[in-house]
Structure formats: C-alpha cells, structure tokens
C-alpha cells in the first residue's frame, strides 16, 4: 500500500459549480487589481497569475463537462490558498467592493448577496476542513497553513 499523498476530488454539483465560479471571479478581481488581496501574495510561491489561471482553466472546464474534478497536491494547495483568500475578502473591506460588483454585474440585491456569500463561506469551511485533515503533516501545507493562520483582517 502506498503512502503517497494525493490531491482532492471535488464532486460535480450545483453548489460546487457556484463555488468554483465565485472562487475564480473573486480571484480575478484580486489579480486584475480591482480589490486588494487580503494576504501578501508574494509569500506563496505558487500563488501567482499564471498558476491561478492554469487552475481556473482546468476547474472551469472540468466542472462544466465532467462529473468530478481531481486535483493533484500542488493544485489542491493552490485552491486552498485561493479559497482562503476569497473567504477573507468576504469578511474584510473588500466585501464592499464585491457586493457592489455583484449588484452591477449580476443585478443581485443586498440580501441575496449576503445569502450567496454566507453559502460560499459555509461550503469553503467544509472544504478547507477536509483539506486540513488530508494534508496535515505535509511540510508544504503546514507552511502555507501557518502563514494563513496569522492573518489579521
């Protein structure tokens, strides 16, 4: 039996599709400079524009066409960083910009926006908890997790 660490699998559902869309829409706002990233991106070597867009392309393609998406360890850790950043955006000053963008581009009212953001955070918490358990003890993950846990928003 192999002890090789593997990445995560995300089952296709309407919730995972919405989660993926929101994650990458907010990520794009961060990488295009519309909102300030809640963490110092340069602290995470794989959290850059190229890696972000590679993962975005893979996940958006799979989520639209297949039943599930399998991510390798590096992609899983990148997703972890992105999801953590998006959650922090929802609970920081960036949330005001996100709410305005949602109103402008998707004609979402304040109450609906609150529901969407709360649903996102709830799903994200479940995913991050699963990843915390799966990757606990992996030196790369532990380093990322340690840096993220010192965030003061």
pLDDT digits (tens, 9 = 90+) for 78-113: 999 999 999 999 999 999 999 998 888 888 888 999
Residues sharing a CB contact under 8 Å with residue 35, sequence separation 6 or more, in sequence order: 26, 29, 89, 94, 97, 98
Pick from 34, 33, 135: nearest CA to 79: 135
Domain parsing of the chain, residue ranges: 9-139
pTM above 0.85, yes or no: yes
């Amino acid at each position: 039996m192999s002890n090789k660490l593997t990445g995560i699998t995300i089952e296709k559902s309407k919730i995972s599709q919405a989660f993926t869309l929101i994650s990458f829409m907010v990520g794009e706002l961060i990488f295009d400079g519309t909102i300030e990233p809640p963490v110092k991106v340069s602290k995470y070597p794989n959290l850059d524009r190229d890696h972000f867009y590679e993962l975005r392309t893979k996940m958006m393609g799979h989520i639209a066409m297949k039943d599930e998406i399998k991510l390798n360890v590096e992609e899983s850790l990148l997703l972890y960083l992105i999801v953590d950043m998006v959650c922090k955006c929802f609970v920081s000053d960036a949330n005001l910009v996100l709410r305005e963008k949602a109103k402008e581009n998707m004609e979402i009212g304040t109450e609906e926006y609150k529901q969407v953001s709360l649903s996102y955070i709830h799903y994200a918490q479940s995913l991050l908890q699963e990843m915390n358990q799966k990757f606990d003890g992996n030196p790369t993950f532990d380093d990322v997790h340690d840096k993220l846990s010192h965030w003061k928003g």
